Amino acid sequence: MIKCLRNLNRILMAAAVVIFAAASISLPVEARGLIDMNWQDKGEMTLVYKFDDKLLQGMEVDAYLVADINENGEFTLIDELKDQPVTDINRITDQSQWDDVIDTIEPYVYSHMTPAAHSVADASGEAHFENLHLGLYMIRTAALYDAEEACTYVVDTFLISVPTTDENDTWVNPVYAPILRAKCSQEYPKTYEIRKVWKDSGNEDKRPVSISVDLYRDGENVQTVELSASNSWFYTWSDLDYTDESGNTSAHSWTIKENISSDSNYTVNTIESSYNGESSKVILFTLENTYNEPEIPDTPDEPETPDTPDTPDESETPENPDTPDTQTLPDLPEVLGAFRNLPAVLGARRLPQTGQLWWPLPILIIAGVLFIVKGIMKNRKNAG
């Protein structure tokens, strides 16, 4: 009966944590009045950690600035997170949307960013922060193991605004979150597994020979492991494999990140699940690598070949008026007395051609002379 009551009490405490976390991130972007920007870099926040009536001394808390805030209470993601695929945080209306934001940016925040502030809960269970830049903070609390109680105290990651609003919608600084109730987990130690799943049917030859995965313990990169076909793309470890500086084993929060080049045709999706192993609870990280066909740029259209102009018929080709006709001397027969290569003098190329034979010419000349003499003599006789 006592055990049942204790378990019931723990369930109620866990529910209270969820309710409080939801209340703590109900961000008042529509609050009345303006924020006093003189508080810039003077923000304060106190978080109180408890389990049942036990104040949890030693809880280590990191605060990461994820968004700036203006005097109207509107948030703007910091530059490091502007490329993250999250919704407009000024339009969020329910807790599930905030949970999606946390799930999306949490791996990047832990692996690429350093905390804006760090604190350890004192004997009163209070973790105090001061000199904070105004904005939205992601609060990450390391798990705390209590060997005497055989209990690991865990608080889920949550978001909180500095400054925040009170019950009258008035902006207040410092922020005071009085009761952050931790959950007691008795599932320590845990075993962790990484399994690679390839979603690239027909493109198996495109896979890399190996991949590397960074292991983050409480947000700190503590190891890089290599997965390949030689180890069946699988790796496992346990909380018991890691100890603190004093050699003591304690519970930790683990996250992983696959290293992939920006020009890779694979995209990575990390899925976290759990199941009950033979001797401990197993946290399974499944890395799904999906192959994406590279985009082939459109081939530019070939330019049209210009039409070849029609070649005019020789009969239609007009004579060039600027080019004088070239006259050639006709071939002369190879006969006696034929003249060749006549000199280019006046009349030289216009000598009459009276026949093909030249031997009758003397006879005709003599006959002509005789006719002339006879004519002269006849004229003298008639005159006498």
User: Per residue in 198-223, pLDDT tens?
Assistant: 998 888 888 999 999 999 988 889 89
Residue type at position 375: G
More confident residue, 299 or 129: 129
**CB count in 10 Å sphere of residue 285:** 21
> What is the dihedral sign for C-alpha 337, 340, 344, 347?
positive
DSSP 83-151: TS----GGG--SHHHHHHHHHHHHHHHHHH---SEEEE--TTSEEEEEEEPSEEEEEEE--EEETTTTE
User: Which tokens go with 79?
Assistant: 């530059």
Cβ atoms of 279 and 269 closer than 8 Å: no
Site of tokens 């605060």: 63
What mean pLDDT do residues 52-65 have? 92
> What value, to the nearest 5°, has the Cα angle with vertex 196 and ends 192 and 201?
160
pLDDT tens readout for residues 74-113:
999 999 998 888 878 999 888 889 999 998 898 889 888 9
pLDDT band at 314 (very low <50, low <70, confident <90, very high): low
The DSSP secondary-structure symbol of 163 reads S
Residue 188: predicted pLDDT: 61
**Would you say residue 252 has pLDDT above 80?**
no
Whether the bond between 189 and the residue before it is cis, its omega within 30 degrees of 0, is: yes
The residue type at 67: A
Which tens digits make up the pLDDT trace of 60-70?
999 999 999 99
Quote the CA–CA distance of 227 and 238 in Å, as a whole number: 17
Domain 191-291 has CATH 2.40.50.140: no
Q: Quick one: average pLDDT of 36-54? A: 92
- Would you state the pLDDT for residue 384? 60
Per CATH, the homologous superfamily of domain 2-185 is Immunoglobulins (2.60.40.10)
Helix (H) or strand (E) holding 382: helix 361-383
- Strand order in 151-154's β-sheet? 144-146, 151-154, 183-185
* b/e code 139-149 from CB counts within 10 Å (16+ = b): bbbbbbbbeee
User: Tell me, what's the pLDDT at 311?
Assistant: 63
**Which amino acid makes up residue 42?**
K
The pLDDT confidence band at residue 146, using thresholds 50, 70 and 90, is confident
Residue 290 phi/psi, 5-degree rounding, is -105, 130
Task: State the pLDDT confidence band at 163, using cuts at 50, 70 and 90.
Answer: very high
Biggest CA–CA distance in the chain, Å, is 192
**For tokens 């924020």, what's the residue?**
35
Q: Is the sign of the CA dihedral 57, 60, 65, 66 positive or negative?
A: negative
Each residue of 272-281: b (16+ CB within 10 Å) or e? eeeeeeeebe
Alpha-carbon distance 28 to 168, whole Å? 11
Ramachandran category for residue 383: left, alpha or beta (phi over 0 → left; psi -120 to 50 → alpha): alpha
Question: Cα dihedral angle (20, 23, 24, 29), rounded to 10 degrees?
Answer: 180
Give the three-class secondary structure for 377.
helix
Query: With contact defined as beta carbons under 8 Å apart, do 252 and 217 qualify?
Result: yes
User: Which of 133-137, 309-313, 337-341 shows the lowest mean pLDDT across its residues?
Assistant: 337-341
CB-based contact 186:150 (threshold 8 Å): yes
Annotated domain spans of the chain: 2-185, 191-291
CB neighbour class for 366 (10 Å; exposed up to 12, middle 13-18, buried from 19) = exposed
Cross-strand bridge partners of residue 238: 191
Percent of the chain past pLDDT 90, that is, above it, reads: 36
Residue 76 and residue 127 in contact, taking contact as beta carbons nearer than 8 Å: no
In this prediction, residue 194 carries a pLDDT of 95
Q: What is the mean pLDDT of the chain?
A: 78
Q: Do domains 2-185 and 191-291 have the same CATH topology?
A: yes
pLDDT at 303 over 80: no
What are the angstrom distances between the C-alpha of 1 and each of 6, 150, 187?
9, 20, 22
**How far, rounded to the nearest angstrom, does the alpha carbon of residue 310 sit from its chain's CA centroid?**
54
